[in-house]
Amino acid sequence: MPIDPRDIEICLGSDDAASVAPPIEQSAIFPKASLRELLDGLAAEHIHHVYTRGQNPTVEVLERQIANLERAEACKCFGSGMAAISAVMLGLLQSGDHVLFVNQVYGPTLQLARHLERFGIAHEVVLDLNLTSIERSIRPSTRLIWFESPGTMLFRTLDIEGLTALAREHQITTAMDNSWATPLFQKPITMGVDLVMHACSKYLAGHSDVIAGALAGSRALLERIFYRAFLLNGGVLHPFDAWLVNRGLKTLPARMRQLRDDALVVASWLRDHPAVARVHHPGGVNGYDAANCSGLFAFELADARFSAVERVIDRLRLFRTAVSWGGTESLVVTPNRGHNEEDLRAQDVSPGLIRLSVGLEGATALCQDLDDALKHD
């Protein structure tokens, strides 16, 4: 599927006739002409500019863009991806509820779920992506199914439409972390997902210089999250950071095209390398279209010892060693900490796993860098 021309227009902000970049409204408060007007604003802070912990005009520009890209009614931005995830959990769940996590999900999301046990919220992780197995894990108390597709580290995809149909049957809300695909390559709302979450810190901002998060979904669901969690947790996105994400969006289609194409070249080059046991890239697997892939994937070394992983990572030059992903620079990391092999195997992850975030250096240079690092001498 080529990138939808409408999405390119949304990213460029073509509907704003007044300016190409939105003004940065760096103000904490928005005074009103009368007490009546202030009271009206306070009665509906999710749509009025009263205090920047609630709404801010610059942040709202970005929220409209993300809602449009996701084909959602509404969007709320947050000070980080984790603030958005926390707001979903705290806004929609209560003591006695159960959350089902499907597929490998972002580590801190699960850490949050473990902390929520203290408040009587239970959870379970399903790694068998067969719909029958997923249905078996649904309990009468399951209120939320949270998932990623492709999932963290192994990039396994699941039948999103099948999963959302199953959830609707059981009257369970679905929430999906769509940071990997971006709305250009996957639009979960159109597949029946209720809430879409983005770590805008990654591809949407795209330059490793801002931390931001977003939720897209129905007005009703987002209003509930706004009053029960967002306004009270205080995980607010600053106007300047919203402006940076807005600027990042302008080049999102161009960046994603290059990242996708280069990652496909690097992945297929790695598949043929004798030091590589396996490549985890979702392109063409289980019917997932290679044209809808981003630049983040992983591979396994044939020699899965920590010392071998460390040696390869330390020899890479263009791939810089860092957490996070989605910027212009290529990055490398491993879930292997040198002492957690058992934990990794329990999650079906090989200790020889190395994750790459392909940047804009060009596929030829990146393959050369990998070739140098994988050489035995």
Ligand X SMILES: *Cc1c(COP(=O)(O)O)cnc(C)c1O
Where do contacts with ligand X occur on this chain (CB under 6 A)? Answer: 80-82, 106, 152, 177, 179, 199, 201-202, 211, 213
Q: How far apart are CA 130 and CA 163, in angstroms?
A: 10
Nearest partner of 303 among 274, 341, 272, 334, judged by Cα = 274
Q: How far is the CB of 30 from ligand X (least distance, A)?
A: 27
Between 201 and 246, name the residue whose CB sits nearer to ligand X: 201
The helix (H) or strand (E) run that includes residue 351 is none
Q: How far is the CB of 198 from ligand X (least distance, A)?
A: 8
Question: Which residue is nearest to ligand X, using beta carbons?
Answer: 81
Q: Assign residue 95 a region: left if phi > 0, alpha if psi is -120 to 50, beta otherwise?
A: beta
Q: How far apart are CA 6 and CA 214, in angstroms?
A: 20
Q: How far is the CB of 20 from ligand X (least distance, A)?
A: 26
Between 175 and 267, name the residue whose CB sits nearer to ligand X: 175
Between 91 and 213, name the residue whose CB sits nearer to ligand X: 213
Q: How far is the CB of 111 from ligand X (least distance, A)?
A: 11
Q: How far is the CB of 202 from ligand X (least distance, A)?
A: 6
Between 147 and 299, name the residue whose CB sits nearer to ligand X: 147
The helix (H) or strand (E) run that includes residue 280 is strand 276-280
Question: Residues 6 or more apart from 193 whose CB is under 8 A from it?
Answer: 160, 164, 174, 175, 176
Q: How far apart are CA 64 and CA 95, in angstroms?
A: 33
Between 81 and 352, name the residue whose CB sits nearer to ligand X: 81
